[in-house]
Structure 1
Amino acid sequence: MQELFDLAFARIDRAGARRREFSKAWADYIAVHPWDIDVRETGEREFEILAVMREPAPIELSMIFSDWLSALRAALDNGLYAWVAAATGQNPPPKAERIQYPICSTPGEFVDQRKRLSGVPVEILDKLEKAQPYRSPYGPESNLTYWVHELARTDRHRAAHVGIGRVDEHRIRLRVPQGVTATFDETVRPYSHIEGELAVGRFITSKSISRFDVAADLTGVVIAPEIRAWADFTLNCGRQSLWSRMVYTEFFIRHHLENMAAFSDATPAGGFKTFDIDEAQVASADGR
């Protein structure tokens, strides 16, 4: 069933190509400087610096992200199909129309999926159960397959995901009239997504001045792409850029596929990249 696995791995390669396309589309978008800078007076000698979106992210970004999600979700489904075909020696395998990689947030959901996948060998179902998001020690939402499933389901059945901007680097320079000093509020750390406008800085001046006397330089503020529905996700107890999350997700899905291939005595094109197949076989033989 090597050809079936080759097709599944090709889906991940396609996802990587869509990710790079997404990056280029974002670069084209920000090249036209779609955010303005506004200085707003909020009190006596108190000011706020805002990044204001004047042109929303293009729909093209949503479409590319949709293709990326679709490729990864299909890779899991194709991989499971290939695994079942290899295990049963049949192509198509029994009840092929029901085969879809299960991604479950609770044990009860997996019980229901197990019934639906009645044509899948029990030993495969047992292995799938051990890899479910509800098994993750920090909860299902810490698992990247959970996000592939949830984001793809929203994309298919409700609406495409919206591309927005997020502050990834933060350094502001000010120019105020001679004889005036400005003190920044260092508690403002706006590493957050921008929808409409976002306060990226606050400061107090030593003397009363007009906001028109203030010039703000935000060239040190880097605005990176974000997907609204995925914006609050953390990985390894920290926030990663969208690009990093996409790379990690492709790696994670590939790891699942490589496990399926290893159980089926198939070899990915280019070999195993997410683990050492020899060490994995030894561990399996030792019962680890």
Structure 2
Amino acid sequence: MQELYDRAFARLERVAAKRGDFAQCWADYISVHPWDIDVRNVDARTLEVLAVMREPAPVELALIFSEWLAALRASLDNAIYALAVAITGQNPPPHAGRIQFPICSTEDDFKTQARRLTMLPTRIIEALDRGQPYQSPWGPESNLTWWVNELARKDRHRELHVGLGRVDEHRVRIAPPSGVAIEFDETVEPYSHIEHELVVARFNASQPLHPSEITADLRGVVIGPEIQAWADFRLDGRRQTLEDRMIYTEIFTRNHLENMARMGECVPPRGFRTLDPEEPEDSAKPDVRGTSG
């Protein structure tokens, strides 16, 4: 059965390459400077500085993200299939067409999904249940495995996910005319994604100003990639860059695969990296399910 696990882990290993392809596609996109800076009056003494998208992200970005998602979701399904083969000693195992790794938002949903896995013993069903998104105290949407399923489902059945820019680092400098004092509006939340345009700064001047009278320096503003449907996610209560979320998701997915390998008495390629295989199966383990607080 080892070779079935090896193939599941091989599929997971591909996602890092896809993440690299995604990063290169993003780098090519921003090399043409697809955002402009605009300064506008809110009133005579209040002005806003905006990042304005003039060139949308290429569809290639969405296609690569789609491939990344598909590989993650398929690796989970491949691993639970390998587990079913290991447990039953049959390939294909009984009811092979029903086998799918459950990712559930409610307890009732898990009970429904578990009925598809009658070839697995109760102890394994219970282990799968403990790692379900609905078990998170902050709700299923705080769980990265839930996002793998949700994003992949929408990608398959609805449309490609839209790629956007998001402000990851923020430092705006304003050069007003001599003798004019300005004060920045601290209520502006610049760390957000840019759908069409985004206010990255707002300030009040000590006298009326026209946008042409000031110079805005946005070289301290770093715009990174974002996926529109995933933009509001928080991990541990904080915003994470898309790259960090992708890396964490890969780690949490590997943890699921390693648990299934351990339950099937097999060893992952390059060994166990996210858990201690000597640890008793039902003992307390660190929460590595990707939940936010």
After superposition, residues 9-88 of structure 1 pair within 5 angstroms as 9-88=9-88
Q: TM-score, normalised by structure 2?
A: 0.94
> In 2, are the aligned partners of 1:172 and 1:217 still within 8 Å (CA)?
yes
Q: Distance in 1 between matches of 2:104 and 2:199?
A: 38
Q: Are residues 1:284 and 2:250 paired?
A: no
SS of the aligned residue for 2:236 comes to coil
Query: Size of the alignment, in residue pairs?
Result: 285
Q: Distance in 1 between matches of 2:282 and 2:63?
A: 45
Deviation string, structure 1 residues 172-216 (Cα, Å, up to 9, x no partner): 011222222222112213111111001110111222232111111
Counterpart amino acid of 1:37?
Answer: I
Q: Distance in 2 between matches of 1:17 and 1:111?
A: 35
Counterpart amino acid of 2:135?
Answer: R
After superposition, residues 253-272 of structure 1 pair within 5 angstroms as 253-272=253-272
Give the 3 Å change call, closer, same or farther, for CA 46–56 of structure 1 in structure 2.
same
Deviation string, structure 1 residues 85-116 (Cα, Å, up to 9, x no partner): 00111111111111110111111111211222
> In 2, are the aligned partners of 1:190 and 1:199 still within 8 Å (CA)?
yes
After superposition, residues 70-149 of structure 1 pair within 5 angstroms as 70-149=70-149
Q: Distance in 1 between matches of 2:37 and 2:5?
A: 51
Once the two structures are TM-superposed, the CA of residue 276 in structure 1 deviates from its matched residue by 2.2
4+ residue runs of structure 1 moved beyond 4 angstroms? 285-288
Any gaps of 5 or more consecutive residues in structure 1?
Answer: none
> In 1, are the aligned partners of 2:44 and 2:210 still within 8 Å (CA)?
no
Any gaps of 5 or more consecutive residues in structure 2?
Answer: 286-293
Counterpart amino acid of 1:115?
Answer: R
SS of the aligned residue for 1:284 comes to coil
Q: Distance in 2 between matches of 1:131 and 1:277?
A: 17
> In 2, are the aligned partners of 1:62 and 1:162 still within 8 Å (CA)?
yes
Which stretch of structure 1 is more off in the superposition, 122-131 or 230-239?
Answer: 122-131
Q: Distance in 1 between matches of 2:61 and 2:142?
A: 25
> In 2, are the aligned partners of 1:11 and 1:75 still within 8 Å (CA)?
yes
Q: TM-score, normalised by structure 1?
A: 0.95
> In 2, are the aligned partners of 1:165 and 1:225 still within 8 Å (CA)?
yes
> In 1, are the aligned partners of 2:12 and 2:72 still within 8 Å (CA)?
yes
Q: Distance in 2 between matches of 1:221 and 1:66?
A: 28
SS of the aligned residue for 2:204 comes to strand
> In 1, are the aligned partners of 2:165 and 2:223 still within 8 Å (CA)?
yes
Once the two structures are TM-superposed, the CA of residue 286 in structure 1 deviates from its matched residue by 6.7
> In 2, are the aligned partners of 1:84 and 1:121 still within 8 Å (CA)?
no
